[in-house]
Structure 1
Amino acid sequence: MNLTADAEFQITERGAVIDGKDIRGCVSIKADNVKIKRSRIRCESYFPIRVYEGFRNAVIEDTEIDGLNSGTTNAAVGFEYYTLRRVNIHSLGEGPHMGADVLIEDSYVHDLASCDICHNDAIQSSGARNVVLRHNTFINDATGKNAVVRIATEQGDSRNFLVADNLLAGGNFAVQVRSQGNGFPVGVRVLNNRIVPTWRFGPFDVTDGRIEASGNFRDDTLAPLSAE
């Protein structure tokens, strides 16, 4: 792992394991099968962790990602072929962004940074395939909040997106699914989530298409919630 002059840690060794490190800077993953565990990453720039194109199977476990309340910070993690497990993400403009083959489970996104030009999403996809969000807590109470989970298609099509067994709170909408340039997302399933009724407009915003949504309940009364 190398530290460049701009305080960026570049991981270039295949199969590297970063364990128990307190990293003050952003992390760039440029190798396959990298694992970061039991660590803290504090970065106030874009992408505290970025998996570069062409590299696969990054795993981040039992780790804290702290954006240091910088309003300019974009996504906690980007973009493809990564797993987050038991990751505490906070003080960023947005939570993870995702492309292909992303798994996020047992993780916590909260206390997003607010700013005048922020458009905060706890989870954002503008074109993704094969994404699983399972058994997480996602909270978006930022001043510039948009959605808790946003699934759209500005940068490409979206296919096979599962949102299951999560606790979702805040946002204009808890789940937003939109056709925005590359068709309506295909194969979106929103199953068995508990949604805290702190949304601004509603639990769902589904525009120009249909999703599979069942087993979703208000967290306070356990009343069922529909995406229709």
Structure 2
Amino acid sequence: MHGRTSHSALLLAAPLAFVIACSAPEGGEAASSSTGRPSTPGGGDVVHGRDIGAANTGIAGAIAAGLPCGQLTDYDGPYIIDAPGTVIENKRIVGTLKILADDVTVRCCDVDLDGEIDARGIWVGYETNPSGWLIEWNTIHGGATGTIGVDLTTSGDGVCRRNDVSRQENGIRLSGGRVEENYLHDPIPYDGTAHRDQVEIYGTTQPASLLRNRIEHDGEETAAINITCDFGPTDDVLVQDNFIDGGNYTLYDREQGEGMPTRVRFIGNQHGDSFYYGLMSADREGTSDAAVQAADPERFLWQDNTWAETTDPAHPEGEVIPVP
């Protein structure tokens, strides 16, 4: 049932045709360095999400990169971090770590939710709006129904990178900040009720970037990346140079209570074909897509995305996204 479907089964909403812009969006490189990717201390350069995996993320990746990581000790608190500048590293953490203060770093930790329902592994800003956070080289696992590996929905600006996140209902949820070079894989098994997404953006408070991640869903309920306006307006989302696969539809870009997402850009990603129904489910409001795009070309951009297996364009100009 997975994989290749007909064009008519591509979208949950009414069929639509996307118009491709011919140049990068204004400010599209703002989240990257002059080389197109930021330097990751100890981890080397990663050109694309296809280069990411278990060997160069999480604690195993940190050890392979020569970082002083791996000699873990049990963490006995505090589990609510309200002191600015706190650094937590090389710890075995069972339960949810809640970050309320600015400039907090969590590095080289094994975070185990131990089967807890509706829990978060690392939760930034659930009561405040901290910024300057750095979440890197952690292994986050062991969730159950309702869990989120890294929850950034009420956080300020920060960086989440090189984490290995698995066995959650939802891998990472964010409302802004930079999520780069993470490995999201093996969500909890579908039990008929879970709404499983590897990345969720349900409203943004600032620009959000997904850069060079490997995002793998097992192909059923719901998406590898789910972008909507459930919790508020969603604007200025850059999804660039990732490997993305699986889900009912791999990508959702849907209208919800706060309208349509705007300025959503998919650039240079590679896609597998293990989706359940198709590559993308998307809505547009008010008029035909061609007219919407002509009036507001930054509403949605699809540029230089390919199928991973063939490197053929995943979205030829002027056509609905094809299936291999």
Query: After TM superposition, is the score higher than 0.5?
Result: yes
1:218, 1:71 → 2: CA distance? 31
Q: Which residue of 1 is the match for residue 272 of structure 2?
A: 196
- When normalised by structure 1's length, the TM-score is 0.90
Larger C-alpha radius of gyration, 1 or 2? 2
Q: Which residue of 2 is the match for residue 18 of structure 1?
A: 88
Q: Which residue of 1 is the match for residue 174 of structure 2?
A: 98
2:150, 2:304 → 1: CA distance? 29
1:109, 1:96 → 2: CA distance? 8
Q: Give the C-alpha shift of residue 71 in structure 1.
A: 2.4
Q: 1:2 and 1:33, CA in 2 relative to 1: closer, same or farther beyond 3 A?
A: farther
1:152-171 correspondence runs (5 A): 152-171=228-247
DSSP-derived class of the 2:120 partner: coil
- When normalised by structure 2's length, the TM-score is 0.65
1:160, 1:184 → 2: CA distance? 12
- The answer to whether the 8 A contact 1:130-1:159 is kept is yes
- The answer to whether the 8 A contact 1:24-1:42 is kept is yes
DSSP-derived class of the 1:92 partner: coil
Q: Alignment identity in percent?
A: 24
1:63 matched to 2:138: yes
Higher percent of residues as helix: 2
The CA deviation string for residues 96-144 of structure 1, in whole angstroms up to 9 with x for no partner, is 1111x3211010110000233101111011112410000000011165x
Q: Paired residue for 1:208, among 277, 284, 289? A: 284
Q: Which amino acid aligns with 1:223?
A: D
Q: Which residue of 1 is the match for residue 248 of structure 2?
A: 172
- The answer to whether the 8 A contact 2:219-2:274 is kept is no
1:39 matched to 2:113: no
Q: Which runs of 5+ in 1 are unaligned?
A: none
Q: Which runs of 5+ in 2 are unaligned?
A: 1-74, 286-298
Q: Which amino acid aligns with 2:177?
A: V
Q: Which residue of 2 is the match for residue 50 of structure 1?
A: 123
- The answer to whether the 8 A contact 2:239-2:266 is kept is yes
DSSP-derived class of the 2:173 partner: coil
Moved more, 21-30 or 76-85: 76-85
- The answer to whether the 8 A contact 1:71-1:118 is kept is yes
1:151, 1:142 → 2: CA distance? 17
Higher percent of residues as strand: 1
The CA deviation string for residues 192-219 of structure 1, in whole angstroms up to 9 with x for no partner, is 0000011112212221155100111111
Q: Give the C-alpha shift of residue 75 in structure 1.
A: 5.0
- The answer to whether the 8 A contact 2:162-2:181 is kept is yes
2:106, 2:76 → 1: CA distance? 15
Q: Between Structure 1 and Structure 2, how many residues are aligned?
A: 221
